[in-house]
Amino acid sequence: MTHKTKVGIIGAGRIGRLHAKNLTHLIPEAGVVAVADVRREVAASCATKFGIPKAYTEHGPILGDPGIDAVLICSSTDTHVQIIEQAAEAGKHIFCEKPIALELEAIDRVLAAVGRAGVILQVGFQRRFDPNFRRVKELVSQGAIGRPHILRITSRDPEPPPLDYIKVSGGIFLDMTIHDFDMARYVMGEEVKEVYAVGSVLVDPQIGEAGDVDTAVITLRFRSGAIGVIDNSRQAVYGYDQRLEVFGEKGMIVVHNPRPDTTVISDKQGQHASPLLHFFAERYTDAYVAEIETFIKCIQGGKKPPVTGLDGKIPVVMGYAAKCSYEEHRPVRLSEIDPNLAL
């Protein structure tokens, strides 16, 4: 019988609680034995709700517990580097929500520490585990549409995040488009060499005052010559809009938005369907379960995770390339941002 992987969760906010719920109710191969959050009441509430034996206000006791095999880092981005380095030194396997960090030098330092420790690091790009997007990846890899020519990704949030978040998130390219950058690499199975981005403030003037844009279109040039287009908006009034299309020499693959149900009402005014899902946790319910299941299986099987530390780094490089492109009104090669990245 396989040893049940003992997990500690660091950060008991929205995403930490989601993982705690999935681990305790849906992933029997693992058990959550401790949770930590700087807010005492938040840690205690999470522990009580999901039957977690120990709750702390700091992550030290989790890393110091020899009975804990792995940690999920769900705390704020500015804490990731320190916790990953300490977790690696403690011999814990690591799942970290994106981004690893906003500083490329810090990411390189973390990846080196993880490599020296020989522990698993998986980065939280949950969209890779969505059944529809995973199927697109399979079909492209199998040559179902021949050589891909054009990739189109639409990613629009139902409403902007709080301004306080926008001010520290690194901006739209690093907190929102970063998921689409990862999806582009994943689906196409190749690297992007050049990025061109344009953006505007059309949703909320305060976002512009905070130094960011809320509407953007990014063009990607892949190594093969294929072209990608990503469009982002901070506010789609009709719901969470996540679509994808790959066009190739032999055909096309399309992923539409899932809905709560497929009922369509037809009357004198036309046809009416249920609105789109309104929240990322609803849209990617299955994906969040699958990514943590995969992390646990990699630990138990001694396998390389499907979303590595390098996979965590490259979308950050792409984010900075997009930011530079927007500011300087020109295409930017990823090698300009990180000359050491051999793409």
User: Model confidence over 181-235: pLDDT tens digits?
Assistant: 999 999 999 999 999 999 999 999 999 999 999 999 999 999 999 999 999 999 9
Q: Give yes or no for residue 94 having a pLDDT over 50.
A: yes
Q: Encode the chain in three state secondary structure.
A: CCCCEEEEEECCCHHHHHHHHHHHHHCCCEEEEEEECCCHHHHHHHHHHHCCCEEECCCHHHHCCCCCCEEEECCCHHHHHHHHHHHHHCCCEEEEECCCCCCHHHHHHHHHHHHHHCCCEEEECHHHHCHHHHHHHHHHHCCCCCCEEEEEEEEECCCCCCHHHHHHCCCHHHHCHHHHHHHHHHHHCCCEEEEEEEEECCCCHHHHHCCCCCEEEEEEEECCCCEEEEEEECCCCCCCEEEEEEEECCEEEEECCCCCCCCEEEECCEEEECCCCCCHHHHCHHHHHHHHHHHHHHHHHCCCCCCCHHHHHHHHHHHHHHHHHHHHCCCEEHHHHCCCCCC
Phi, psi of 278 (to 5 degrees): -110, 5
* Predicted pLDDT of residue 104: 96
Assess whether the previous peptide bond of 331 is cis (omega < 30° from 0). Answer: no
Question: What's the whole-number mean pLDDT along residues 56-79?
Answer: 97
Among candidates 85, 145, 150, which has minimal Cα distance to 121? 85
**Predicted TM-score (pTM) of this structure:** 0.94
Phi, psi of 316 (to 5 degrees): -70, -40
**5-119 CATH fold:** Rossmann fold (3.40.50)
The percent of residues above 70 in pLDDT, for the chain, comes to: 98
Q: Which CATH class is domain 128-286+313-337?
A: alpha beta
- Work out the pLDDT band at 1, boundaries 50, 70, 90: very low
Instruction: Convert the pLDDT of each residue in 8-43 to its tens digit.
Output: 999 999 999 999 999 999 999 999 999 999 999 999
Domain residue spans of the chain? 5-119, 128-286+313-337
